[in-house]
Amino acid sequence: MPAEFTLGELAVRFGLTLRGEPSLKVHGIATLARAESGALSFLANSRYRRQLESTRATAVITNAEDEAHCPVAALIHPNPYLAYARIAALMHPEPSAAPGIHPSAVVAVAARVAASAGIGPLAVIEEGADIGERVSIGPGCIVQRGARIGADSVLVSRVNLYPGVSVGQRCILHAGAVVGADGFGFAPNAGTWVKVPQVGSVRIGDDVEVGANTTIDRGAIDDTVVEDGVKLDNQIQVAHNVFIGAHTAIAACTGISGSTVIGQRCMIGGMVGFAGHLTIADDVVVTGCSLVSASIKKAGSYSSGMPTVETRLWRRMVAHLRRLDG
């Protein structure tokens, strides 16, 4: 069950302005439309103001502009979504894994596992692996030889860390993530292909989150690098020798070709494709379904995806394009 807090406690803890009775208690999170008494909700987008005006929540997190439309108690913050994230984490804390090694896990004698770490059922920890304090290794995970995991990190389930991979502190790797598989490197030889050894590794910084079934390839020579605070969604492909700068966020199904450098604080939409050997500046936004085929040297927002139109209109547009060189 989520913990219960008074509005006064939340306002003091998170530096919020309270309009309403400080002794009112909330014990859960709900949407504006579905909230009942005892629930805390939030308004981060003014398009949902109509739902705010009819909400049955005990209190709503909102900004100063929308607060005037709030019929219940309000916790006021310039960034309601940020305040909501912090309060929700307080009310719904992640359960701590119990320390110890499950009887079905296989842990090499030469592996180092901190006494406070938890190793789940059917996990495999190979020789030379280093598992830090309070790390949680979920069911079916494989930590191959020489891989290292920093304190308070979580491998949810079926995560596979290849040899020599380094994961920082407070990271979360969701189910099915694979870190350190061989990059796609092959040399042509008279119509055939010769595999190029991938001798680099992967270095992941602190406070990184890697989504389910996302893959991060090891470097061909130097390491693939994911800096501190990067957030990767599900089913992303990060190729060999890619560098992702600190606090960049990348949405699902994006593919990043080899040796591309993405700057800090970038926001990449879903299904974006990056050609190889590009450099993307800091603070770049790329909207969903874009194809990035050249380097981006200045901060800003960039797009190339074609918005959806009615099929008949789309066919006419394609026909016009085909006649441009006629």
pLDDT tens column, 166-217 = 999 999 999 999 999 999 999 999 999 999 999 999 999 999 999 999 999 9
pLDDT at position 36 is 96
The answer to whether the beta carbons of residues 209 and 231 sit under 8 Å apart is yes
Tell me the C-alpha distance between 151 and 201, whole Å: 20
pLDDT at position 288 is 96
pLDDT at 324 over 90: no
Q: What is the pLDDT of residues 237-253, one digit of tens each?
A: 999 999 999 999 999 99
117 closest CA partner among 106, 132, 130: 132
Pairing of strands 160-161, 142-143: parallel
Question: HSE of 80 in the Cβ direction (CA atoms, 13 Å)?
Answer: 20
Tell me the C-alpha distance between 209 and 276, whole Å: 23
Going by the DSSP 8-state scheme, the letter that residue 197 receives in this structure is: P
Across all residues in the chain, what is the average pLDDT?
Answer: 96
Tell me the average pLDDT across 291-319. Answer: 95
Query: Residue 83 in 3-state DSSP?
Result: helix
pLDDT at 298 over 90: yes
Specify the residue for token string 């304190």. Answer: 151
CA 287 to chain centre: 17
pLDDT at 31 over 90: yes
pLDDT at position 210 is 98
- List Cβ neighbours of 190 (8 Å cut-off, separation of 6 or more): none
For the whole model, what pTM was predicted?
0.93
Tell me the C-alpha distance between 296 and 280, whole Å: 5
The span from the first CA to the last CA of the chain, in angstroms, equals 68
pLDDT at position 93 is 87
What is the band of 326 on the pLDDT scale with cuts at 50, 70, 90?
low
Residue 240 is among the residues annotated as catalytic for this protein: yes
Residue of 69, 92, 240, 277 marked active site = 240
Tell me the average pLDDT across 295-324. Answer: 93
